[in-house]
Amino acid sequence: MTDPRRRRALQALLALLITGVALAWVARGIDLRALSRSLAEAHFGLVLAISLPAFFANFALRAWRWQHLTASLAPIGLIAHFRAICVGFALNNLLPFRAGELARCVYLAREGGVRAPTLMGTVLVERLFDFAGLGFLAGVFLGLRGVSVLGIEASRAATLLPAFLLLPAAALALLPQLTPARVERLAGPGTRLLGKRLGYPLLGFLRDVAAGSGVLRTRGTLLPICLLTIACWLTSVPPMWAAIQGLDVVLPLAPNGAALFDASAALTLWVA
């Protein structure tokens, strides 16, 4: 076996090993008998008929939004963004600490010839828009009906919405001011204390992230990203509704409902 073929075989084995360990970690503590009973009673036709088109639309919208965020960095095609989004979501479901976010940046960096830390800056902007968009939707749902969001009654949750919207909005207003040159002036003295081996790479990483978040300095970017963010969250509702109806899933999914998607799941109960 030639060296390239041997390397590919080793990479495949390593990928299978990581997947197996991740699946074992996810499946720990699951009651297999209860799982088999639930699967026997599930309505998979309903779930698949609604979830597959909705997930495809959601991923396509996220890819389109990310393309808007990377447009000022390099002309990378929509399909490359879509593949990277799929890679990221797949790994987020298998690995802890949302490792898929880093993986999708690395994948797209190889496709588009952009540095991965620079793409991480665009993902940072994306996350802030997600928080702001979810806050907007929470306000809409609370206005339509007094639902409990993340275990918080509607009256109390409504008082938290201004902070939920203002914090990401303030961060989005601040990020365009953090140019790579300004980041170097602010962080340079501190990173130099770490020495060349650690300080210089860290400073370069921070400059790259600042370059990626600088997409907000591009005219005409804000409105399409806002609209696509709302569309992304709206298309996440049908699969959750289908899971409630077809699989008898109890939402929120994460302990204490702390995750961002669990907030969307809680809002889905308004529809269900």
Contacts of 69 (CB under 8 A, 6+ apart): 122, 125, 126, 215, 221, 225
149: β partners: 152
Residue with token string 């959750």: 240
Model confidence over 50-86: pLDDT tens digits?
888 988 999 999 999 999 999 888 899 999 999 999 9
By the 8 A CB rule, do 242 and 46 touch? yes
Q: What does the pLDDT average to over 118-142? A: 79
**Considering the entire predicted model, what is its pTM?**
0.75
Model confidence over 144-180: pLDDT tens digits?
555 454 454 555 555 556 666 677 777 777 777 878 8
3-state helix, strand, coil in the chain (%, to 5): 80, 0, 20
Q: What does the pLDDT average to over 27-36? A: 74
For residues 249 and 258, what is the distance between their CA atoms, to the nearest angstrom?
A: 17
